[in-house]
Structure formats: structure tokens, C-alpha cells
Structure 1
């Protein structure tokens, strides 16, 4: 993590409900080698326990198939494993089932057999590693963004995909001189308590009315109903006009298949004169806001002319915002 990120890291409260304690799990004895030692069965259940134990051993006959009987609340063991044991020896990426072993004992993904065979002269034939596949499918680790609120346990070979889309990836507070750094959901509380920015819950596909952001306000915070995505509506100077921008707080937006998740319509109108309005339809850009508020962008910002901001009637204009899912409105691109 960069030095700037270290300065910005915010300590937000956890998700546990205050004043409530979690029930302590009953300790279980662990035998050497990481095997969970089960307590003796009560009399009358010994036969059943023996049968289940035999079934869990499975059989390697009939094409090497393995049968396992697992309890609903199977005990878990935390282990430390060398990284090389979980990586393909051909492509050096995390092993994905189905896996294979060559004559030299090298374990590779099935898709890498040809590449591996060129480097290993003894790799003429391969055998399926079904037992290893079971381990690879079950090996999990905490999300990289656990400290920012993500409670997911991620399958090891799927970790990169998860981190590229994790909604808890941290963003920066865009307020000048503020170095708070945490997940978008936790930033919402920070915006309210530390900056007094207004927060409005929005329903996708429905328009909501806001005041045109003024410099003292900083911005208006919008929280999507259902998925709790966080959007910021801010303003900046655009010549003699004012540019209003909407951005989705998302640290990993650029890695999400190159397509925007949301699209929006922004327009400003005078309540008593609907003929005086300006409107823009745009994809919603994603940003971690590490560089502060977004600069004026004619493609993704709404330019509000002075005639609307300073109408002769003295009437204040309304800012109308309508956000929808990109899959509904066409899926245009628009990420930083």
C-alpha cells in the first residue's frame, strides 16, 4: 500500500452490533497434523459414527472416484501453506481444477499441459489429481479488504476476480485537506459526521430533486437503494458557467470488464418555467477519488449557464437526477 494510502487510512467501527457478544464456540481438540479430534460418540451412536467414518474414506476404485460425507457444520482448520503448492508449475498462476500430474511429478492445470510438455521432456502422459482438486476447490482466504468491511472468505484461485470487483475496496475522501481512506459505505458516515454533507437514498430509474450544489456544501451524497452504491454530485467552474458532475465511488471500477455499471440523466430547470432547462445523458464514471473531486468534463458534466443560476425572478433552480443500471439503459462505458 502506498505512503499516501497509509496516511489516508481511516479507522471505522466494525459491523458488530455494540453491546452484544457473540457466543463462544466450543473448543475442539486438534491432533498433530491439523486433524480435528472428535469427542467420543454417546452409547448407541457408535455404530453410526463408525459407518460415517468409513464412508468419508471413500474408494479409489472405479476410475478413482472419491466419495466424502461432510457434516453441515464441519469444523474448519486454519493452515499456512507454501504458495508454490497452490500454483501451476507451467503458467505459475493459481491452480484451477481439474488438475493433472505429469510423470515427473509436476502438477499443472489441464489447460497448461502443452506448455508444460515443451519444458519437461518427461511429461509424456498425465494423470488426473482428483484429491488435489478437492483441496483446491476448498482452499479459502480472507478478502484482501477485510479491514475495510468485507467478510468474504474467497476461494484461493478466484481471489483475483473477487478483489477486482469487491465493493469494499477503499476510496479516498475528496474533501481538500482530508485524508480519510476506507470503503465507500463507511465513507458515507464520515461525510455526514465530519463534513455535514447531505445524504439522499435514491431508487434506480426514478428521478430525485436536489438543490444545485454550491461551493460551501461541497457535494451531495446519493446512496443507491438495494445495492448501497455511493454516488457524489459535485460542482466546479466551467468558464462563466457551472459544471455539475456525478461520480460513482468505486476503487476497482476500471477493472470491471471496461463497462460502466450505471447511466444517469442530469438536468436543471426552473420550477415555474419548464422551458428553461439544460439536460445531459451520460454513463456514470467510477473513481476512487484519490485526486479529489472530478474536474469538469464536457462529456460527463452538466454545464449550467448563469441565466439559470441567476434568474431575474430570483427563483433557485432544481437539479434533477435519475440513475439507472447500465444494463437497463444500454451499458455505455465511462470509467476512469
Structure 2
């Protein structure tokens, strides 16, 4: 989609500003002729072309001019989330992804409310769905040294309004003691897979007294107030 000036060389080849700028001597990306000039006529022609929304395959029927389409895609309700299961390829809206994970991949669906603690499995695939707002969360777990590294993600469309979430892990630590840790939640549509994202995680030590199996942790997710959220 056009988003930058267009250049034309003496041979009549047209190139975008990005390709033109990547050349060390600003030569045409097709024939290497130098001295390209900006083509206003071609720009006006291209800006008059209508485009289909990038979410067409997910149900959006919008067909708009370039400048209108950019604004539309920033709020398109068909912007998808992607399945975290490797090589699955499913994409859809949040409620569709929840159903997909539960029915096809047999993931547990844990309902919760912000500010209230709930138990989640560490080694069993699960997705956490907020009862009030429908946001989906998932804990990514992996081995890290002498413990299990846990990272909480919120699965939401790329164009969703950015919000800050915090989560706490509470783990028995023998007797009346418990280990409590807090971190931020990483927002992602998973467009590029589960491995792409933040390196921030909370480490649960192996064989923690009172939680030797390490299979379940207590979680509390908090949503920042509107005045505190980052937009």
C-alpha cells in the first residue's frame, strides 16, 4: 500500500521511496540509472486507487482510498488474533480464538475477574478469559536454569487500544509462607508466533517447599485505570 513518495527514472521505471533510498547512489532499483525524480503524476494516480482492507480474508468488506484505508485499519473490528499453537495457522477474533483453543486443541478455559486470584496450571495449556471484558490471557512457560520461567501475555489484535496489565504470581513456600512476584503483561496478537516478544519473565524455583510439583500457581491480573493506561 502506498505510503511514501514515488520516484521515476529516465527509462520510465517507477519505484517507491523505500526502494529508492536503499540504493547507495539513489539509483533506479530496476535499471540502476541514477538521477531519479519524484513523479507527482504517478503519485496522484496511485492515491486515486481504492484498496481492500488487509483483513478482507477475516470478513472485512471495506474498499477505500489509500488515506481512508489507513485510518480504517487502525480501528477495523476484523483485525485478528492468532493461534499460539505452532503450525496451526488459525486467525480470528478473540471469542473465535477462545472457542478454537477449547474445541480443537482441548485447552482449558479459565474464567476470572480482574483483581481476583485464581489458580492456573503451569504445564497444561490453558487460556484465561476475563468474564467482564472478554480479554484473553495465556502463560508461556519454559525451563530456565533451576526453575520454570513464566511470562503472561494478553492476546489481542494489533490495532487494539493499548492498555497496561499487571499480574502477580503467588506460590506456597512452606508453612504459612508463600513466594509472591509481580510483573507486566505483554500485549500481542501472536501474528509472529509465541516466541516473539518480551524477555521479561518470573522464575519459579524447582522444588519450592509446599509446591514441590510446581504444577499450579495462584494468579491475579490487574487492569490499570484509564488515567494510568498508556495509549
TM range (shorter): 0.5 to 0.7
Alignment correspondent of 1:71: none
1:247 Cα offset (Å): 0.9
TM-score with structure 1 setting the length = 0.45
Distance 1:239 1:164, change over 3 A: farther
2:88 aligns to what?
A: 178
Match of 1:86 in 2: none
Is contact 1:200–1:223 with CA below 8 Å preserved after alignment? yes
Aligned to 1:32: none
Point out where structure 1 has 5 or more consecutive residues left out of the alignment.
1-88, 94-140
- State the alpha-carbon separation in 2 of the partners of residues 295 and 170 from structure 1: 17
Which residue does 1:243 correspond to in 2? 149
Check 1:174–1:162 CA distance in 2 against 1; reply closer, same or farther (3 A cut): same
Q: Which residue of 2 aligns with 1:262?
A: 164
User: Closer, same or farther in 2 for the Cα pair 1:316/1:189, shift >3 Å?
Assistant: same
Q: Which residue of 1 aligns with 2:179?
A: 277
**Stretches of structure 2 lacking an aligned partner (at least 5 in a row):** 1-43
Q: Distance in 2 between matches of 1:268 and 1:317?
A: 13
- Structure number having the greater helix percentage: 1
Q: CA separation in 1, counterparts of 2:83 and 2:73? A: 21
Q: Which has the higher contact order (CA 8 A, sep 6+)?
A: 2
Contact conserved, 2:174 with 2:210, CA < 8 A, in 1?
no
3-state DSSP class of the match of 2:74?
helix
The CA distance in 1 between the partners of 2:134 and 2:109, in whole Å, is 12
* Residues 173 and 211, structure 2, Cα contact 8 Å, conserved in 1: no
User: Aligned partners of 1:312 and 1:225: how far apart in 2?
Assistant: 30
SS state at 1:327 partner = coil
Deviation at 1:332, TM superposition (A): 5.6
- Specify the alignment match of 2:33 in structure 1: none
Secondary structure at the counterpart of residue 307 of structure 1? coil
Alignment match, 2:217: 319
Q: 1:245 to 1:319 in 2, by over 3 A?
A: same
TM-score, length-scaled by structure 2 = 0.62
Deviation at 1:168, TM superposition (A): 3.5
Task: Select the structure of larger CA radius of gyration.
Answer: 1
Q: Report if the CA contact (8 A) 2:173-2:179 is conserved.
A: no
Matched, 1:233 2:133: no
After TM superposition, list the pairs within 5 Å mapping 1:47-126 onto structure 2. Answer: none
